[in-house]
Amino acid sequence: MRNEYLAAVAVIVLVGVAVVAITWKNYENVHQEENFVVYDVSGGFAGIHYTFTIMDNSTMTDGVNTEVLPENEFQEFRKLVISANIFDIVYPNTFREHWPDSFGYNLTFTIAGNTRTFSYSDADISSENMPEKLSEIIGKINEFKNRL
């Protein structure tokens, strides 16, 4: 009787692991292929972490709320990103902690399978080192995320 019980528990555990593995793999594939822009914010007094994603299908999400951007707005944003030549922007990707409780930002673009991440802080946003096109893109992303 005890061996049958242990065998049943082992099967349940193995089935559970398989389901989790399959679910995780599917989640991983979908999100790697569909993300267009991922905007991560962390830090501050409370040590928050916030992620905002705009996907290739014009869906935007913060992990809790989801909304679809109107097609014309998404296409305008996409043109802004493409015209900025994201992969050619010269930016040192330095996180400078000049201010107490400052926030750190990671902005990741994925276009045609190529990925580029920019890392910066509050101090960087207000400096003249922030490329103008990147600053414009960040402003648009903040406008979108405030809708959720």
Write down the pLDDT at residue 13: 38
pTM: 0.71
What phi and psi, each to the nearest 5 degrees, are found at residue 48? -75, 160
Contact 90, 114 (CB under 8 A): no
Half-sphere exposure of 110 (CA within 13 A, CB side): 15
Quote the pLDDT of residue 104: 86
Under a CB-based contact definition with an 8 Å cutoff, are residues 1 and 8 in contact? no
The DSSP bridge partners found for residue 106 are 40, 119
Residues in the chain with pLDDT values less than 70:
1-34, 92-100
Q: What is the pLDDT of residue 77?
A: 96
Cβ count near 71 (within 10 Å) = 9
Q: Which domains does the chain have, with CATH numbers?
A: 35-145 (3.30.1560.10)
* pLDDT value for 30: 37
pLDDT at 131: 86
Q: Which pLDDT score, from 0 to 100, does residue 122 have?
A: 79
Residue 45 confidence (pLDDT): 83
- From the list 141, 139, 109, 115, the residue with the least C-alpha distance to 125 is 139
